[in-house]
Structure 1
Amino acid sequence: MDFGYVRVSSKDQNPARQVKILLDMGIEERNIYVEKKSGHHFNRETYDMLVNHIMRPGDRLTVTELKRFGRNYREIYQEWNHITKELQMDVRVADMKILDTSLNKDLIGQVITDVVLALLSYVAEGDWEERHELQRQGIEVAKAEGRHLGRPKVEFPENWVECYDRWRAGAISAKEAMVLMGLKKDSFYRLVKKYENAEEISSK
């Protein structure tokens, strides 16, 4: 059976584009699962439910882009192997036809898929790191020029990137991050939304 997984990074973003792609590929709407979660960490309940509890050996999971599995090489590669090797299911990536494990089941086909996956995963991670660094530099430039990067009187603190990453990785709680950055709850989540929206736009 064919299943589709769609992820957007913000509750304000519309998953319709990804859903349409999957529908056009012949996946039934009832088998398309949508999740609105940031790709910074791989704690996604809908994804976990679909892959580990709904799908069965022999089923195929389709995503529109490789980065829907995550945004670093290790996570993407681990998830791919978990699905194809441990769970004995297939994976298909819409924008990269060679990444369809339901085709070319022979050894050569598997080797080609593994090599392409490793290369693309590495590139995806490099792109994310480059965007992350550019955003960090943009924040610093804006602060140096005295410009606000949010609503009036709410700016990204100097340690924003460091604390944000630690919070998203689960190393510190949101409350601890707020204390470290000197932000109130509403200001903190307002900046989180603005930061993640900017990142999603830059990734398109």
Structure 2
Amino acid sequence: MFIRAYLRASTDEQNADRAKTTLEQFISEHGQRIASYYTENISGTQLDRPELNRLLTDTQANDILLVEQIDRLTRLNDHDWKQLKRMIEKKGIRIVSMDVPTSWQALDNNALTHNDPIIKAVLDAINNMLIELMAAMARKDYETRRERQRQGIETAKANGKYKGKKPDTERHQKVKSYREKGLSLREIAEATGYSRSQVCRILAG
């Protein structure tokens, strides 16, 4: 069993590594250790994510996909969430999230559920239900914030105060400078905190 931690932040300004210490402490308390980390700055509403795809490629049956919260894994719409779940189930991966206590049983090699199929079936059903609920709440939270943002922009436009989001020209210039020095896309992404897809967009701009 390998524990693979997935760390995601939505925007360039957020630090996707923020939860690393918290996850390490959580796993240590369960007598386990994290085998590898997959970190990226990308929206959870996107199904196609480079680091998540790499994690799914690397994993084998019974490996654990560890997240701080379910919303770090998904803010997907229903169709895309079902597709991601199928991918996870096909690989035989178990999701462990700090905000879903029933998922923690996967970390305990001596858990009673391993020897009692009835208890295991009941807890698995409860666990799946809670993960579904948290995934739905994550999507709802995203949609609510988007709607409030839209309303705020419309109000600002009506009042002549909306100027739009300004690009971080200094960071963009760093990306181009690193590229001119011969750094790879991966190296630039690590140096600037952007995802590789964001680096590509900046270089193409």
TM range (shorter): 0.5 to 0.7
Is 2:51 the counterpart of 1:50?
A: no
Inter-CA distance 48–87: structure 2 relative to 1 (3 Å threshold): same
Partner of 2:145: 131
Deviation of 1:47 (Å): 0.8
Q: Note if contact 1:91-1:101 (Cα within 8 Å) is conserved in structure 2.
A: no
SS at match of 1:137: helix
Partner of 1:19: 20
Counterpart code for 1:54: D
For the residues of structure 1 that align with 2:165 and 2:83, how far apart are their CA atoms? 39
Inter-CA distance 12–56: structure 2 relative to 1 (3 Å threshold): same
Q: Note if contact 2:5-2:36 (Cα within 8 Å) is conserved in structure 1.
A: yes
SS at match of 1:125: helix
For the residues of structure 2 that align with 1:111 and 1:39, how far apart are their CA atoms? 25
Root-mean-square deviation (CA, aligned residues, Å) is: 2.7
Partner of 1:200: none
Number of residue pairs matched?
153
Partner of 1:112: 126
SS at match of 1:95: coil
Can you give the 5+ residue segments of structure 1 that lack an aligned partner in the other structure? 155-188, 191-204
Deviation of 1:28 (Å): 5.0
Partner of 1:145: 159
Inter-CA distance 33–71: structure 2 relative to 1 (3 Å threshold): same
Deviation of 1:29 (Å): 6.3
SS at match of 2:62: coil
TM-score by length of 1: 0.65
Identical positions, percent: 25
Q: Note if contact 1:69-1:79 (Cα within 8 Å) is conserved in structure 2.
A: no
TM-score by length of 2: 0.65
Q: Note if contact 1:10-1:36 (Cα within 8 Å) is conserved in structure 2.
A: yes
For the residues of structure 1 that align with 2:6 and 2:141, how far apart are their CA atoms? 22
Q: Note if contact 1:77-1:117 (Cα within 8 Å) is conserved in structure 2.
A: no
For the residues of structure 2 that align with 1:88 and 1:151, how far apart are their CA atoms? 42
Partner of 1:39: 44
Structure 1 residue ranges (4+ consecutive) displaced by more than 4 angstroms after TM superposition: 27-30
Is 2:100 the counterpart of 1:99?
A: no
Deviation of 1:25 (Å): 2.3
SS at match of 1:25: helix
Deviation digits for residues 89-143 of structure 1, max 9, x if unmatched? Answer: 2110112212346264611111111222222222222211111111100000000
Can you give the 5+ residue segments of structure 2 that lack an aligned partner in the other structure? 115-119, 168-200
Inter-CA distance 13–151: structure 2 relative to 1 (3 Å threshold): closer
Q: Note if contact 1:139-1:149 (Cα within 8 Å) is conserved in structure 2.
A: no
For the residues of structure 1 that align with 2:104 and 2:82, how far apart are their CA atoms? 15
